[in-house]
C-alpha cells in the first residue's frame, strides 16, 4: 500500500468542492492529486483554491493516469454509471455521490464492475457519519427507548428551485432532490427493507409554474411500512425560505429519540417583547461539514485496510428505488408494494 492514496475529484462544483476541502489536510492517508471538470471556470477556480495543478477536462483521461488510485464522482447523475464502470476497469477505487445512478439496472452494473475488478465502491450518504445521527443509531441499538415503532425523517430546503427542477419526470422533485438522504436514514435505522410506500404532495410555493409543470410538487409526505413491521414517515419541501432543516425522530415502545436541531447554535436572545430569537441553520453545507470529512476518511480507511465500505452500492440502489417508487406512488395516487425492497417488475 502506498503511503498516500492519490485521489482525483471528478466534478468541481459546489458539492464537489466540499470533498476537495476535506482532502486538503483533513483526511489522513490520502492526498488530493488531481481535479477534473469540463467547465474551465470550475476547474480553474478549484485549482487555485486547492493548489492542485494536475487537471483534466475529460474524465476519460483520468482513467489513463496510473498515478491516480481513487476517484470522487460528483457529476450530474446521468454520468455516474459510465464513470464508475470506467474507473473500476482502470483499477481505481470509487466514491460516488448520491443519487447513485439513473435507475436500478445502472446501480447493479456499477456494483458488479467494482466487485469484478476488486475495487471499493462507497456511496455518499453523509448523514450516516454525522455525530447526532450516529448517536441516534447507537441509542436505538442499545435499546434505550425499547423497540422502534415509528421512524420519522424530514428535510426542508430554503432555496428557490432552478428551472430544471420543475420537471419531476427528469429529476424526481423534492423526493430526489432533498429526501434521498431521508430514505437512506430511515432504512438504516429500521435495519429492514420497505414493503409498502405511499406518497402524496402538492405545489404550494410555485403556483406560477403549475400550468407549465402540472406534476411539480414542492411539498411531500411519504408513509412507509417496513418488512419488520416498523412504520416510517418522510416529509420534504423545497423553497421553505426559513433555513435548512434536517431532523429525525425514533419513537420506541418506551421512549423517543430526537436527532438534530434546526438551530445554527445554542445561543438565544429573549427581548423585552417576550420574543425568543435564535439563528436558523443556513445550509446543508454548514450542518454536515464534519460528516462530509468523516465519510471521506471512511472511504480512504476502507481502501487502506481492505474492509467493506460503510455505505455500499446496495445502499445506494435501495435508496434510489425508494425515490423512484415514491414518485410513482405520488403521480399515480396510490400506494406501491415491494418485496425484499424491490418493485414487482424487478423481481
pLDDT in tens, 30-74: 999 999 999 999 999 999 999 999 999 999 999 999 999 999 999
What distance in Å separates the CA atoms of residue 183 and residue 80, rounded to the nearest whole number? 20
Q: Which three cell numbers stand for residue 11?
A: 466534478
What's this model's pTM, rounded to 2 decimal places?
0.94
Task: Note the pLDDT of residue 168.
Answer: 95
The distance from CA 150 to its chain's CA centroid, rounded to whole angstroms, is: 22
Confidence band of 345 (pLDDT split at 50, 70, 90): low
CA dist., res. 53 & res. 260, Å (int):
39
Give the single-character DSSP code of 296: H
Is the pLDDT reported for residue 346 higher than 80? no
In this structure, what C-alpha cell is assigned to residue 151?
Answer: 421512524
Q: What confidence tier does 1 reach under pLDDT thresholds 50, 70, 90?
A: low
Q: What is the DSSP string of 6-39?
A: EEEEE--SHHHHHHHHHHTTSSTTEEEEEEE-S-
> Can you name the residues that pair with 196 across neighbouring β-strands?
225, 337
Over 181-241, what HEC string results? HHHHHHHHHHCCCEEEEEEEEECCCCHHHCCCCCCCCCEEEEEEEECCCCEEEEEEECCCC
Cell of 156: 426542508
Phi, psi for 260 (deg, rounded to 5) = 90, 165
CA distance 38 to 25: 25
pLDDT, averaged across the chain: 96
- Asked if residue 347 has pLDDT above 60, the reply is no
All CATH 3.30.360.10 domain ranges in the chain, comma separated = 131-284+318-346
CATH 3.90.180.10 fits 131-284+318-346, yes or no: no
Strands (E) in 39-82, as ranges, are: 55-56, 70-73
Predicted pLDDT at 93: 98
Superfamily of domain 5-119: NAD(P)-binding Rossmann-like Domain (3.40.50.720)
Mean pLDDT of 291-319: 97
Residues of the chain with CATH 3.40.50.720: 5-119
Q: How large is the average pLDDT for residues 212-225? A: 98
What is the pLDDT confidence band of residue 25, given thresholds at 50, 70 and 90?
Answer: confident
Q: Of 39, 35, 38, give the one whose Cα is nearest residue 19.
A: 35
Is the pLDDT at 4 greater than 80, yes or no?
yes
Percent of the chain scoring above 70 in pLDDT: 99
3-state secondary structure of 120: coil
Average pLDDT over residues 161-169: 93
Answer positive or negative: Cα dihedral of 152, 155, 97, 48. negative
| Residue 284 zone, left/alpha/beta (φ > 0; ψ -120 to 50; rest) | alpha
Output the pLDDT for position 2. Answer: 73
> Does residue 204 carry a pLDDT above 90?
yes
| 243-279: pLDDT as tens digits | 999 999 999 999 999 999 999 998 999 999 999 999 9
Amino acid at each position: 500500500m502506498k503511503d498516500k492514496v492519490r485521489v482525483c475529484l471528478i466534478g468541481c462544483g459546489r458539492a464537489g468542492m466540499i470533498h476537495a476541502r476535506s482532502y486538503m489536510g483533513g483526511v489522513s492517508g490520502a492526498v488530493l492529486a488531481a481535479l477534473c471538470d469540463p467547465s474551465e471556470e470550475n476547474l480553474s477556480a478549484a485549482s487555485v483554491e486547492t493548489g492542485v495543478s494536475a487537471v483534466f477536462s475529460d474524465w476519460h483521461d483520468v482513467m489513463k493516469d496510473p498515478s491516480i488510485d481513487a476517484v470522487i464522482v460528483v457529476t450530474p447523475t446521468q454520468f455516474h454509471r459510465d464513470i464508475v464502470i470506467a474507473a473500476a476497469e482502470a483499477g481505481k477505487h470509487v466514491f460516488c455521490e448520491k443519487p447513485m445512478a439513473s435507475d436500478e439496472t445502472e446501480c447493479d452494473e456499477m456494483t458488479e464492475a467494482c466487485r469484478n475488478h476488486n475495487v471499493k465502491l462507497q456511496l455518499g450518504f453523509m448523514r450516516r457519519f454525522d455525530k447526532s445521527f450516529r448517536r441516534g443509531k447507537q441509542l436505538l441499538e442499545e435499546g434505550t427507548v425499547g423497540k422502534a415503532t415509528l421512524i420519522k425523517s424530514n428535510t426542508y430546503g430554503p432555496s428557490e428551485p432552478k428551472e430544471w427542477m420543475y420537471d419531476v419526470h427528469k429529476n424526481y422533485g423534492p423526493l430526489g432532490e432533498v429526501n434521498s438522504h431521508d430514505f437512506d436514514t430511515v432504512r438504516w435505522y429500521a435495519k429492514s427493507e420497505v414493503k409498502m410506500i405511499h406518497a402524496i404532495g402538492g405545489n404550494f410555493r410555485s403556483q406560477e409554474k403549475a400550468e407549465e409543470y402540472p406534476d411539480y410538487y414542492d411539498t411531500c409526505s411519504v408513509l412507509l411500512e417496513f418488512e419488520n413491521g416498523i412504520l416510517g414517515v418522510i416529509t420534504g419541501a423545497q423553497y421553505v425560505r426559513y433555513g435548512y432543516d434536517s431532523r429525525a425522530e425514533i419513537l420506541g415502545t418506551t421512549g423517543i429519540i430526537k436527532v438534530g436541531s434546526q438551530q445554527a447554535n445554542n445561543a438565544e436572545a429573549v427581548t423585552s417583547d417576550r420574543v425568543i430569537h435564535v439563528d436558523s441553520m443556513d445550509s446543508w453545507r454548514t450542518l454536515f461539514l464534519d460528516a462530509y470529512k468523516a465519510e471521506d476518511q471512511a472511504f480512504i480507511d476502507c481502501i487502506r485496510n481492505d474492509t467493506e465500505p460503510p455505505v455500499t452500492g446496495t445502499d445506494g440502489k435501495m435508496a434510489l428505488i425508494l425515490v423512484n417508487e415514491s414518485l410513482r406512488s405520488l403521480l399515480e395516487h396510490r400506494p406501491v408494494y415491494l418485496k425484499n425492497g424491490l418493485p414487482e417488475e424487478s423481481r
